[in-house]
Chains A and B, each alone.
Chain A
Amino acid sequence: AQKVTQAQTEISVVEKEDVTLDCVYETRDTTYYLFWYKQPPSGELVFLIRRNSFDEQNEISGRYSWNFQKSTSSFNFTITASQVVDSAVYFCALKSFGNEKLTFGTGTRLTIIP
């Protein structure tokens, strides 16, 4: 069975602070894919990043960075110098090779206080 845990239900930080969203996953599969999606107040789900299980290289995209650690089954997401536009619910998701569905965590609601 697959499981994604986002233990942080809600986080509030002041604008320009850095913030890290945690994601821990469980799977018995050796090949799998991890994703982060953003759901702003408007409601749509926006794809942010995908990471394959065989690629543990961390990634940075502007103010966003992702830390994938297989040893701890974690795929954490850091926003540097947060902005009000970053306020949203962020979902971590897991997909195993051979399984068509995405398994989502419960999401972390991030509020950036101006």
Chain B
Amino acid sequence: DSGVTQTPKHLITATGQRVTLRCSPRSGDLSVYWYQQSLDQGLQFLIQYYNGEERAKGNILERFSAQQFPDLHSELNLSSLELGDSALYFCASSVEVGHANYSTDTQYFGPGTRLTVL
């Protein structure tokens, strides 16, 4: 158990709908990362938040958005869902250490949320 929790574990929805995935980082971790794992794209970085602020952006679609709340939990919102959005969505967290505010720490992953869009 990494200490990172994600809910729900499974989500089945229809095209065009909107869903929210939730993540609670490990105690003491300030950074939260979101990744998408799909059969065709593999594991892809979506976005990172550090202490409530967006820090880095990857291959995140405009239909997707995220935020990190004062209690450090994070939510990933996916809207206007398409069949191709079906994937396993992971949240990871890390302690923010290192120089120039860049994290050098290990990212620990949650169990993932499996999203199925029908």
> A-side interface residues toward B, CB under 8 Å?
33, 35, 37, 42-47, 50, 91, 93, 95, 97-104, 106-107
The answer to whether B106 touches A47, judged by C-beta atoms less than 8 angstroms apart, is yes
Partner of B109, one of A33, A45, A50, A97: A45
Q: Which of B72-118 contact A (CB under 8 A)?
A: 88, 90, 92, 98, 100, 102-104, 106-112, 114
Residue of B nearest to A42 (CB): B111
Cβ-defined contact, B104 with A44, below 8 A = no
23 pairs, A vs B, C-beta closer than 8 Å: A43-B88, A43-B112, A44-B2, A44-B110, A44-B111, A44-B112, A45-B109, A46-B2, A46-B109, A47-B106, A47-B107, A47-B109, A91-B43, A93-B43, A97-B98, A100-B31, A100-B33, A100-B56, A101-B58, A102-B33, A102-B35, A103-B45, A104-B43
B42 within 8 A of A: yes
Q: Is the interface of B mostly helix, strand, loop or mixed?
A: strand
**Min CB distance, A29 to chain B, in Å?**
11
Contact residues on B (Cβ < 8 Å of other chain), bracket? 20 to 34
Chain A, Cβ-Cβ closest to B44: A104
Q: How far is the CB of B36 from chain A (nearest CB, A)?
A: 11
Within 8 A of A (CB), among B16-47: 31, 33, 35, 42-43, 45
Q: Is the CB of B112 within 8 A of A98?
A: no
How far in angstroms is the closest Cβ of chain A from B94?
A: 9
